[in-house]
Structure 1
Amino acid sequence: MATGGGGYADILRAPYAARLLMGTLVGRLPHATGPVALVLFTRAEGGSYSLAGGLAAVYGIATAIGQPLLGRAVDLHGQLRVQLPAAVLSGLGMAMLAAVGIGSLPLAYAAVALAGLFTPPLEGGLRALWPSVLGREDRVHRAYAVDAVAQEIMFTVGPLLITLFVSLWSAGAALLVINVIGVFGALTVVLSKPSRAWRSAPRDAHWLGALRSPGLLALLGSFFFIGLALGSITVAGVAYADDHGRESVYGLLLAALSFGALVGGGVYGARQWSGAPERRLRVLVALLALGYLPLALTPGVAAMTALSALSGVFLAPSIACAFIVVDRHAPSGTVTEAFSWLVTTFGVGAAAGTAVAGPAVELGSTSWSFAVAGAGGIAALAVLMATQRVLAVPGRSQGVAGSVPGAPARSAENDRNGAAEPGFSSGPEA
């Protein structure tokens, strides 16, 4: 069993690993801050909350559509040819919004749609690179945990960063700066040697692409409901803060949830796990669902903060384990697209959660809106339980998770060009 600190340091010392991780996080800042940035910009321009919500919804829908399409393009044409142009076009969309404002609503909506549609699939691209950058199976699995934890940090720090930029300059300037930073992050990734050398494995022509894998569909169905649970918590948290008369309570609850995820992800990634990841994922999602259920009790602030932290403990481990399952079930030549579908499904589920939790508060109470999160967790587990047989048969016989411990990580993606080597290779996941 590897220790957390040494194991994580070992990953970050690998050639290109730290650059790829940090570049991806920086490149995804526009996506992490998009909804908040749109609300702040719209309000600064004198627009209503309804308009802000409409722009944010269009951005979310466009991103959900664009991710798997761009992911498939990456698998077909490589990372450099897709990721960088996408990042530039997405940034130009937000720049256009900053320039035209909300005076012309068709132009504003078109700008936001452009920004969302061309959000680069950096997240899926990074996970496609990990096996050949890190080599061994255990290092790849630990990198997935680092990846999941880093997401929690990004989605916590990102909104704070955009708020800081607004206070320093203006909402329009903040929109421009955060997207320039995002392009710089994408550039850092795609100009690296592993990214430039990356080529996808041969793929069978099929219009469904990654979605022709029954196991991947089962996983996506489960993570739609996990996304729903998280989306409902964001709305329920606002309602809880209103009930207690302090806006700061909302930030406290989300910070506690993120802290729990950081702790859980850190502990999970610090050791090697035996057995099939599909079976382990069922256990993790069951524990995640159990963590969501007590939130409906809505006790006092101190107890609610503790429950929020508890509800986050198994989030990052569940996501990290899901990454392994995606790699095992993605058809050959579709790895980036498969990871991008996970991003899309999770995002659509979160949007559905916010849509359901709002009426739950108005028709019932804050407890009802938190109950939506519990129901989402149970539904996610039910999907995994109902599809055990489908998930028991990996779509690829030599996925990262199925490689020999201690040997270089291999997958159907790597098999075309030979075993991956630490650092970089000319293989597809390098």
Structure 2
Amino acid sequence: MAAGYAEILRARHAMRLLSGTLVGRLPNATAAIAIVLFVRDEGGTYSLAGALAAVYGVANAVGQPLLGRLVDLRGQPRVQLPAAVLSALAMTAFALVGTGSLVAAYAAVAAAGLCTPPLEGGLRALWPSVLPRADQVHVAYAMDAIAQEVMFTVGPLLVTVCVSLWSAQAALVVLNVVGVLGALSVVMSAPSRTWRSAPREAHWLGALRSPGLLALLSAFLFVGLALGSITVAGVSYGDEHGGDAVYGWMMAALGLGALVGGTVYGARQWSGAPERRLRGLVALLALFYAPLALMPGPVAMVALSALAGVFLAPCIACAFIVVDRHAPQGTVTEAFSWLVTTFTVGGSVGTAVAGPVVEWGG
């Protein structure tokens, strides 16, 4: 099972690009959790926490395809690193201002989300230049999805550890500084510095002129909504069943389940159209999410969270292949960034709706 992954990691630059992107995306991956915990520590309501997390997510959704298009046009270093620095500065400002001034708080999280560098799309655009064979690129997509789940497993625990050792404010600052270092590692690598997008047809819609891509994005909006709702609802569940530790283990279990599912999925070669396979995977993802509504005790809830995550990474890995197949020439970074955007918009809607629902009905 591990042979295919080992072959990818032995490729020159692969480990650096994967790990750098992983670290660079840490602030974005943990932003919703860190914002919710920070607002709670500031004495804010769940509705305010959900609203701020949603603003960050919406701004991120707007910024990803715009920055992705800039990467396609201008190259990675000129866009990725400045964006990472600006995003970190904005989130640091939010940590310092707090919720005392709501205008400043909303402006800071919006700026942080808007400037988040499109490292995900950038990495997927780099894989074909680093790996010589198409089958290796497909395995790399699966490994990429698995690596994300490692981050989603470790990230929530890292946030709660930072909060317990220092404070939610310190967690926001530290995670964003680490993220800038990750982005720096990526853009200083040879593949990132030399990569250039294929010639593109001038069109104001860019990647969105592909009907197949639009269909995929429409589906993943709802996958993001499910994940976003758990971010806020899980905090409420944790408050009633053991506190932040339970919440952290729930979020980590989701990532762990996806890690296991993604590892198994990426270890074999799949035949047939990836579009058909993706429909089946998304259906299974929905089926495994449904038992979370039972809300049993903490141990069972953590176990159900792990099961809920099993088909997440396979869905994402398969979606990468579909994006690659349907992206118009010269728009690959933008196309991958649109997938991130759609996922983020869904997540933002989920967090925004879950806050008032939790306060109204538990």
TM exceeding 0.5:
yes
- Indicate if the aligned counterparts of 2:55 and 2:348 stay in contact, CA closer than 8 A: no
* Structure of higher RCO (CA pairs closer than 8 Å, 6+ residues apart): 2
Q: Give the secondary structure class of the aligned counterpart of 2:192.
A: helix
**Structure 2 residue 323 is matched with structure 1 residue 326:** yes
Aligned to 1:162: 159
Q: How many Å apart are 1:256 and its aligned residue? A: 3.0
Match of 2:242 among 237, 242, 246: 246
**Structure 2 residue 113 is matched with structure 1 residue 116:** yes
One-letter amino acid of the counterpart of residue 266, structure 1: T
Aligned to 2:135: 138
301-310 vs 267-276, which moves further: 301-310
Q: Which one has the bigger helix percentage?
A: 2
206-215 vs 307-316, which moves further: 307-316
132-141 vs 116-125, which moves further: 132-141
- Indicate if the aligned counterparts of 2:50 and 2:232 stay in contact, CA closer than 8 A: no
TM-score using structure 1 length:
0.77
Aligned to 2:56: 59
Q: 1:202 to 1:309 in 2, by over 3 A?
A: same
Q: How many Å apart are 1:92 and its aligned residue? A: 1.6
Aligned to 2:196: 199
TM-score using structure 2 length:
0.90
Aligned to 2:144: 147
Aligned to 1:256: 253
Q: 1:282 to 1:44 in 2, by over 3 A?
A: closer
Name the larger-Rg structure.
Answer: 1
Say what the alpha-carbon RMSD is for the aligned residues: 2.4
Q: 1:77 to 1:60 in 2, by over 3 A?
A: same
User: Which sections of structure 2, spanning at least 5 residues, go unmatched?
Assistant: none
Q: How many Å apart are 1:105 and its aligned residue? A: 3.5
Aligned to 2:175: 178
Q: 1:33 to 1:211 in 2, by over 3 A?
A: same
**Structure 2 residue 350 is matched with structure 1 residue 353:** yes
Q: How many Å apart are 1:359 and its aligned residue? A: 5.8
After the TM superposition, which residues 2-401 of structure 1 pair with which residues of structure 2 at under 5 Å, given as runs?
4-45=1-42, 47=44, 49-238=46-235, 240-241=237-238, 245-247=241-243, 248-299=245-296, 303-357=300-354
Q: Distance in 2 between matches of 1:92 and 1:129?
A: 27
91-100 vs 213-222, which moves further: 91-100
For residues 2-24 of structure 1, the C-alpha deviation after alignment (integer angstroms, 9 at most, x for no partner) is: xx212111111110000000000
One-letter amino acid of the counterpart of residue 187, structure 2: V
Q: How many residues align?
A: 361
Q: Distance in 1 between matches of 2:260 and 2:92?
A: 37
Identity %: 76
Q: Distance in 2 between matches of 1:130 and 1:13?
A: 13
Q: Distance in 1 between matches of 2:279 and 2:187?
A: 35
121-130 vs 46-55, which moves further: 46-55
Q: Distance in 1 between matches of 2:231 and 2:80?
A: 30
For residues 249-280 of structure 1, the C-alpha deviation after alignment (integer angstroms, 9 at most, x for no partner) is: 44443333322211110001111111111111
207-216 vs 53-62, which moves further: 53-62
Misfit runs of 4+, over 6 Å:
none
Q: Give the secondary structure class of the aligned counterpart of 1:7.
A: helix
Q: How many Å apart are 1:193 and its aligned residue? A: 0.5
183-192 vs 137-146, which moves further: 137-146
